[in-house]
Structure 1
Amino acid sequence: MRRKRKAPTAPLPQRRGVDPVHLRLPAEGPWPTVRAYLAERLPTVDPARIDALLRGREIVGVDGPIGPEEPFRPAGHLWLYRDLPAEVPVPFELEVLYRDDHLVVVDKPHFLATTPRGRHVVETALSRLRHGLDLPALSPAHRLDRLTAGLAMFVVRPEDRGAYQTLFRDRLVRKEYQAVAPHDPALALPRTVRSHIVKERGVIAARELDAPPNSESRIDLVEHRDGLGRYRLRPLSGRTHQLRLHMSGLGVPILGDPVYPVVLPEPAPDDFRRPLQLLASVVEFTDPLTGRPHRFETRRTLAAWADPQSWAAADAPVPAPRPARDPDRDSDEDSDRDRDHGPGLGPAI
């Protein structure tokens, strides 16, 4: 099998915890200059912007900054900084619960994305940690949905990432969540829910098919009062939106869920009033590098249970139709099937 060639180290440092964009030039092509290639490769970028970057020596190759007349070099490498999107600061702290030479474990707030994606780039847990802890090589061991609060794990060294990701892939991490949802006295709990979940890229909601199960969740009621229940959820697989979909399928959708059972209009970027009442509360595993047993517990609580009056006083969103496809809305997180997490070029550099 042919091994994938490792990219050279970026000659540009991160900015605010965000990597520079890396472009690999094709092995062959008709372009006489790098400028001609970029104009074709980035059709949504104003050519004047490309010219300004080249004149300012802001595009860098392996041998240093390049200018407007730089000849096209087959299979070459380029790095540049993208123009970051305007982001509303997420006004909640990201608490570091544990740190050693291999691992960082945090207690993530609601609304903070785990990794750069779409319009969330700087306001992400990964960017905050890279910048705040001075760990530019930090990478996620798994993913946690932007709307979900609680425990998330990051790997300090790139060479260790595979060992920790394998724990999640092989289901060697015991994960436990808390959720607040309506209480249905007729719903027999505890129970195990199994179904076949599919999630199409760019489609907001996952769905269940009549097919052999590929997901499994254990659901239990911890306590209930005033028509609400506090639930303990244990995912035994890592499908996208699995717990949210399974709770909705039981007729007790998680409070604050903007997707299940009905896709709601997206709130304003600065509306933090009604977070999804789902919390990654426990992570337990044996460290694959040190052999040390780890158990981490969240210090956060769910507002609808801890302060139900304040939760009830917040304005509830009104259901309304939304497009079935929305590639920039959170739709591909909350999964153990990780991808690379560098930001794409987007509509502008």
Structure 2
Amino acid sequence: MGTSNYPSVVTLPKINKPYPSILCFLSSRFPAITRDAWEKRIGEGKVHDDRMLPITPDTEYVPQMRIFYFREVNDEPHIPFAEEILHRDDQILVACKPHFLPVTPGGRYVDECLLNRLRITTGIPDLAPLHRIDRETAGIVLFSVNKETRGRYGELFMNGRVEKSYLAISANLPVDGKTSWTIEDRIVRGEPWFRMQSVAGETNARSTIRLVDVKDGKGCFVLRPITGKTHQLRVHMSGIGCGILNDRYYPQLQPESADNFETPLQLVAKSVQFRDPLSGRLREYVSGRELLW
């Protein structure tokens, strides 16, 4: 069994009384983990509060209290592709993630994630991602090295002051001959829960899309997300009739199967550009990863 070297954390939400037990909350919040498994972890002292005191069956539910636990998985898959460090200084680290590797622990993945690999490679235990990209997507991810300045760099992403550019390949070309789009819609969770969908309502997702090359019946697109909703670019590409090549979620959900390392999602986070909040200078980082088409 693989066990994470670093704890994950969940914050107890503000809810109406009567409060559930912490065991009931964890079982409901993480349905993939059985109640018996949580009971065993608590009994073995593997679940703690924010003072690092063990949670017990008698620990009361306190809204906004943070619960720390260590992820455990059986038969963790190995991702046979390497990440690359593009830049490192006293404030940030810029890495290029391969397809299939998650950024942080989750689901079946504990050791096999970009964060864990980089902590081992760099020896920096406090390394923390400033943003995320999908497990299926390759490309650039920024990490904070310095706790003291982490908030300054995190604000860049929260306030939309980072320009991000992606490349995508689609086996479909626009039927109306268009070559550029500005997409503004509302994206929410769909069915199953891990798929997203565009619905009517207040806009919360914005992207620009541009067709830049055509070869052998396929199109190469430059995508620029203005917001950062989960699966936003995949949903928007599907919405214009140009679903991304090898996408198993959009436009149609494919049957569950093991990863096929020969057919990665043809989407890469190609570049990021931002004004450094400390020095004021313009920074830009570009991935050298190429797509297959």
- The answer, yes or no, to whether TM exceeds 0.5 is yes
Corresponding residue for residue 30 of structure 2: none
Distance 1:21 1:205, change over 3 A: closer
- The match for 2:85 among 91, 96, 101 is 96
State the distance in 1 between where 2:51 and 2:193 align.
Answer: 42
Distance 1:191 1:86, change over 3 A: same
**Higher strand proportion (structure 1 or 2):** 2
Secondary structure of the 2:37 match is: coil
User: What RMSD in Å do the two structures reach over aligned CA positions?
Assistant: 3.4
Corresponding residue for residue 126 of structure 1: 115
Distance 1:185 1:223, change over 3 A: farther
Corresponding residue for residue 213 of structure 1: 203
Corresponding residue for residue 227 of structure 1: 217
Secondary structure of the 2:245 match is: coil
- The match for 2:129 among 102, 126, 140 is 140
- The match for 2:160 among 162, 171, 176 is 171
- The match for 1:260 among 223, 235, 250 is 250
Q: Residue type matched to 1:290 in 2?
A: S
**Contact between 1:39 and 1:50, CA under 8 Å: does it hold in 2?**
no
**Contact between 2:182 and 2:208, CA under 8 Å: does it hold in 1?**
yes
**Contact between 2:42 and 2:57, CA under 8 Å: does it hold in 1?**
no
Larger Cα Rg: Structure 1 or Structure 2? Answer: 1
- The match for 1:191 among 174, 181, 188 is 181
Gap regions ≥5 residues in structure 2: 13-21, 28-34
Deviation at 1:79, TM superposition (A): 7.2
Corresponding residue for residue 15 of structure 2: none
Give CA-to-partner distance per residue, 1:211-268, whole Å, 9 cap, x none: 2322111111111011101111111111111111111111110101111110001221
Q: What is the TM-score normalised by the length of structure 2? A: 0.79
Q: Residue type matched to 2:236 in 1?
A: H
State the distance in 2 between where 1:197 and 1:39 align.
Answer: 30
Distance 1:195 1:227, change over 3 A: same
Gap regions ≥5 residues in structure 1: 1-14, 26-36, 306-349
253-262 vs 183-192, greater mean Cα deviation: 183-192
State the distance in 1 between where 2:290 and 2:147 align.
Answer: 32
Q: Percent identity?
A: 38
Corresponding residue for residue 18 of structure 1: 5
State the distance in 2 between where 1:132 and 1:38 align.
Answer: 36
State the distance in 2 between where 1:47 and 1:23 align.
Answer: 17
**Contact between 2:83 and 2:97, CA under 8 Å: does it hold in 1?**
yes
**Contact between 1:17 and 1:126, CA under 8 Å: does it hold in 2?**
no
Distance 1:64 1:125, change over 3 A: closer
State the distance in 2 between where 1:188 and 1:298 align.
Answer: 28
**Contact between 1:197 and 1:209, CA under 8 Å: does it hold in 2?**
yes
153-162 vs 196-205, greater mean Cα deviation: 196-205
**Contact between 2:77 and 2:108, CA under 8 Å: does it hold in 1?**
no
Check if 1:250 corresponds to 2:240.
yes
**Contact between 1:39 and 1:47, CA under 8 Å: does it hold in 2?**
no
Q: Residue type matched to 1:113 in 2?
A: P
Q: Residue type matched to 1:100 in 2?
A: D
- The match for 1:45 among 16, 34, 37 is 37
Secondary structure of the 2:262 match is: coil
State the distance in 2 between where 1:153 and 1:257 align.
Answer: 24
State the distance in 2 between where 1:256 and 1:138 align.
Answer: 32
Give CA-to-partner distance per residue, 1:44-103, whole Å, 9 cap, x none: 13877776x47xxx889999999xxx9978899997755443211100010000001110
State the distance in 1 between where 2:242 and 2:227 align.
Answer: 20
